[in-house]
Structure 1
Amino acid sequence: MIKNTTIDKQLGHKTIRAFKEKVLTKEQINTLVEVAQHTSSSMFMQQFSIIHITDAEKKDKIRAISGQKYVGANGDLFIFVVDLHRNQRIRQQLGKDDGRLHQTDIFLQGVEDTVLAVQNTVNAAESMGLGAVILGSINDNPGELLKVLELPTMTYPILGIQIGIADQTPQLKPRLPLDVVFFENDYHEISLVDLKDYDEIVQTYYDLRNSNRRIDSFTNQVGSKKLGTKETHRNELLDVLHSQGLCLK
């Protein structure tokens, strides 16, 4: 395998959920935002925005939505927003109609822009010696989050990131073996037998790690209530997107 400092950082990525009581400097924040802006963008439409949450009340509400005590606590909280509203307003001021902005494919392009920017931001943060956690949990109540952020139509907050100085050193979580995720030309079906060794590795990881030890495996998690049928606010996602004027066709 080729090795360099960038690859070493990426292969050593660990999600950080505990941060020291110190906020980022203006220089650090500006650098992270610049990196996000220079992410690849579909058709150069640059269809995302970033909201830095500093208001204590909003932090509390986002923490309640996420159900995770570290959200909005130490470090800095950023919400990455799929933003078609900006381009809608540009078209309107040019005397144009909305064109294809309400179609699902344009929304997905915005999602791609936003998610790529999120990962680039995390990579930059880690290169600066900072820790980060990507927050999909902000979507646990999408309708309520829109109210908290007071977002206009044609926008949707897709992910959050908490960034700060790490106050923990978690172990590296083992990933799936390459031969079940990387194929040549054709997709390959797998069976539980193919994952037997990996399940044992994951079970050992959970059994020996420093915090939240438990007996668990990868296939057990896939078969758990995580992907089971249940009623949650996340099931309202499509209705919320429609109410925002998104994915209408």
Structure 2
Amino acid sequence: MTAKSTIEQQLDHRTIRAFTKQPVAPAIIEQLVSVARHTATSNFQQAFSVISVTDPAKKEQIAAIAKQPYVAANGHLFVFVADQHRDQQIGAEMGKTENHLGGTDRFLQAWSDTTLAVQNTEVAAESLGLGTVILGSILNDTQQLIDILALPQLTFPVLGLAIGWPDQKPQLKPRLPERFVHFENTYQLPAPLRPQLAEYDAVVHQYYDLRDTNRRVDTFTNQVKARLALQPEKRAEMLTVLHRQGFLLE
């Protein structure tokens, strides 16, 4: 694939939530995991793991956490996990019990390694014609997810990724104009902000009004406002769960 076609593919990214009944071949899953393994990593620590969730009962449980039934439907489900447990095991087996693996620095390294692996895997999957949906919704109840996946200390789930052969082609969702996300040398958000977002709000309004499914009246700034004070109950417990897993205790 040329650089140009890769860019075109990424600019045409659409979240796919409906997959055909055609399974994703094991060879493709192996290839995608290989792509994840070859992702750039902080300090060569490779501080993430990938769990393929193939047990239908577990998929149903995770779909319930995510409040998205399609997670349990057709397609292959990955859960990407920030993982400092592996390094702890290596150190213990080499007689090194003191470590800072639960500290903020090492946690953020693991988190960034994991999210980079998710993005790499998504790009690779789409290059093969697969559809994808990244699932931040698995964090709606992190403790339950940790229990379902039997995650040990010094691990934490970051994102899910469902892939499959697309059974839909949704409209391309409009993104913020460049001037609101790309600055030079210093942070330079234009002010006052909302009036300058009016044109983008109109584009988003039209997108929601004309798209094929789940039409509604909405804008970008209205969505931002609605989410400012929104926090699902179990997400409010996330720091407590991080502490239970051995992270951010410093």
Does 95-104 or 106-115 show the bigger shift? Answer: 95-104
Gaps of 5+ in 2: none
Number of aligned positions between the proteins:
246
Does 185-194 or 145-154 show the bigger shift? Answer: 185-194
Please give the secondary structure, in 2, of the residue aligned with 1:134: strand
Aligned to 1:104: 104
Question: 1:88–1:98: 8 Å Cα contact kept in structure 2?
Answer: no
Structure 2 CA distance for partners of 1:23 and 1:98, relative to 1, 3 Å: farther
Distance in 1, Cα, partners of 2:228 & 2:133: 21
Task: Name segments (4+ residues, structure 1) moved above 6 Å.
Answer: none
TM-score by length of 1: 0.97
Q: Pairwise mapping of residues 177-192 of structure 1 onto structure 2 (< 5 A)?
A: 177-190=177-190, 191-192=193-194
Please give the secondary structure, in 2, of the residue aligned with 1:58: helix
Specify the code of the residue in structure 2 equivalent to 1:140: N
TM-score by length of 2: 0.96
| Deviation for aligned residue 1:118 | 0.1
Q: Deviations over 1:23-42 (max 9, x none)?
A: 21111001100000110000
Query: Is 2:209 the partner of 1:204?
Result: no
| Deviation for aligned residue 1:128 | 0.3
The structure richer in helix per residue is 2
Aligned to 2:169: 169
| Deviation for aligned residue 1:215 | 0.8
Aligned to 1:228: 229
Gaps of 5+ in 1: none
| Deviation for aligned residue 1:49 | 0.4
Please give the secondary structure, in 1, of the residue aligned with 2:117: helix
Distance in 1, Cα, partners of 2:148 & 2:85: 18
Specify the code of the residue in structure 1 equivalent to 2:206: T
Provide the alpha-carbon RMSD of the alignment.
1.0
Please give the secondary structure, in 1, of the residue aligned with 2:69: coil
Structure 2 CA distance for partners of 1:231 and 1:6, relative to 1, 3 Å: closer
Aligned to 1:237: 238
Structure 2 CA distance for partners of 1:141 and 1:7, relative to 1, 3 Å: same
Distance in 2, Cα, partners of 1:8 & 1:31: 22
Aligned to 1:75: 75
| Deviation for aligned residue 1:206 | 0.5
Q: Deviations over 1:155-192 (max 9, x none)?
A: 01110000000000000000000011111111113310
Distance in 2, Cα, partners of 1:64 & 1:230: 17
Q: Pairwise mapping of residues 108-187 of structure 1 onto structure 2 (< 5 A)?
A: 108-187=108-187
Specify the code of the residue in structure 2 equivalent to 1:219: T
| Deviation for aligned residue 1:21 | 1.1
Question: 1:78–1:160: 8 Å Cα contact kept in structure 2?
Answer: yes
Structure 2 CA distance for partners of 1:194 and 1:169, relative to 1, 3 Å: same
| Deviation for aligned residue 1:232 | 1.1
Q: Deviations over 1:5-50 (max 9, x none)?
A: 0000000000000001122111100110000011000000000000
Question: 2:85–2:155: 8 Å Cα contact kept in structure 1?
Answer: yes
| Deviation for aligned residue 1:101 | 0.5
Distance in 2, Cα, partners of 1:98 & 1:124: 38
Please give the secondary structure, in 2, of the residue aligned with 1:97: coil
Distance in 1, Cα, partners of 2:182 & 2:151: 39
Please give the secondary structure, in 2, of the residue aligned with 1:36: helix
Question: 1:135–1:160: 8 Å Cα contact kept in structure 2?
Answer: yes
